[in-house]
Amino acid sequence: MATDASPQLRSVPPPSDFHPEISLSQSPTHDGLHFWQFMIAGSIAGTVEHMAMFPLDTLKTRMQALGASCSVQPVSVRQALGSILKLEGPPGLYRGIAAMGLGAGPAHAVYFSVYELSKQVLSRGDPNNSMVHAASGVVATVTSDAVFTPMDMVKQRLQLKNSPYKGVAECVRMVVMEEGIGAFYASYRTTVIMNAPFTAVHFATYEAAKRELMEVSPD
């Protein structure tokens, strides 16, 4: 009687760390995230940051406006805060916060997503190039400042003492009618000149620190 000489194959159970839903054919995402996720995360981070610090931003704007007048003696933070609370109450610290909310979210969404996209495009297979990180930061700030500067100008006009504008919509309408669209970008060049070097150093240092920490503790 003939016997079956073919090898008998037994099913081997998959290892415990086997995940069939993970496929190597899938295109990897940058840093593990999609760019729309960078936009959302950046938008939330920027909005929370600016809203939380808005009262201090109002104090800074008031003190800068007073300092521009030679006839007014310099005031301290305590004096500026006391004056606002006495004459306007706590709401005075938050005049213009709507403009900040409208500008900060989109601007930071652009900021972080453009940075990540620029870093991916400019790296050319070398993700550890500090010059690429610096250049990507400059591209990001030039782009995001173009989004944020108009609302920043509206915010500052609303923050000033005795501001003639009742809200964001009125300020935008009056500026367009009396000064034109260019008034919204009067400070754009100065803002970029100020922010570009900071952002270049910021992101180059940030990426270098990440790289060093990965070498110290890969996990």
- pLDDT tens-digit series, residues 183-204: 999 999 999 999 999 999 999 9
Angstrom distance (rounded) from CA 111 to CA 210: 19
Determine whether domain 35-60+73-182 maps to CATH 3.40.50.880: no
Given a cut of 90, is residue 21 above it in pLDDT?
Answer: no
Q: What is the pLDDT of residue 113?
A: 87
Give ∠ CA 119-148-46 in degrees, rounded to 5. Answer: 65
69 vs 26, residue with greater confidence: 69
Helix axes 97-123, 35-52, angle to 10 degrees: 140
For residue 34, what pLDDT band results from cuts at 50, 70 and 90? confident
CB hemisphere CA count around 159 (13 angstroms) = 26
- Give φ, ψ of 152 to 5 degrees: -65, -40
What is residue 71's predicted lDDT score, i.e. its pLDDT? 54
Q: If you average pLDDT over every residue of the chain, what do you get?
A: 83
Contact 132, 119 (CB under 8 A): yes
Whether residue 24 has pLDDT greater than 50: no
Distance between CA atoms of 52 and 14, rounded to whole angstroms?
Answer: 51
pTM for the structure as a whole: 0.72
Strand residue runs (E) in the chain: none
pLDDT of residue 123: 86
Reported as a pLDDT band with limits 50, 70 and 90, residue 26 is: very low
pLDDT in tens, 116-150: 889 989 988 787 889 999 999 999 999 999 999 99
Where exactly are the structural domains of the chain? 35-60+73-182
For the residues 102-106, what does the mean pLDDT come to? 91
Q: Give pLDDT, residue 187.
A: 92
